[in-house]
Amino acid sequence: MNNLVSAELIEKKIFLLRGEKVMLDRDLAELYGVETRALKQAVRRNILRFPGDFMFILGKKELGKWRSQIVMSNSDKMGLRHSPMAFTEQGVAMLSSVLKSEQAIQVNIAIMRTFTQLRRMLATHEELRRKIEEMEAKYDENFPSVFEVIKRLLAEDEKPRRRIGF
């Protein structure tokens, strides 16, 4: 990973909204080393590069859920005069064409690598789940015999035992 930002830090700034993994404008601005208003202004100047599947603005309900999810302090709430912009993976990639500083490029590379790593982990978990389901289906007929053996073992334990001691 690069020296500017770690994968763990990026992962903590990825949220699930509208069924998409997204990063919010304020978190991206912090990582890129720019003010949030500058990032938003750059996006607005290039709005055609950010269709709805790249970036969306949080509604009031989503904003309320997000605030409760991260337990914002009062001072954080006061800094939000406008609803945050949420950027999907493609939107984050598009930001690299809008923000052209060296730090923005390096951070963008780190973010894209983190998104890819998360996608690989999810695919691995999905594959594991599928294999377990296949095993359950394959060995399902054997489970009654396993339960029968367990019942026999338990029945043997219920036999009266010889007392030890007085």
Written out in words, the top-level CATH class of the domain with range 7-129 is alpha beta
Q: What is the DSSP string of 79-123?
A: T-SSPPEEE-HHHHHHHHHH--SHHHHHHHHHHHHHHHHHHHHHH
Mean pLDDT of 19-38: 89
Residue of 52, 55, 63 lying closest to 98 (CA atoms): 55
Q: Could you tell me the end-to-end alpha-carbon distance of the chain, in angstroms, rounded to an integer?
A: 70
Contact between residue 6 and residue 100 where contact means Cβ atoms under 8 Å apart? no
Percent of the chain at pLDDT above 90? 19
Distance CA 154, CA 33 (A): 65
Residue-wise pLDDT for 88-143, tens only, equals: 988 988 887 888 777 777 887 888 888 888 778 777 777 766 776 676 666 656 66
| Cα-trace Rg, the chain | 26
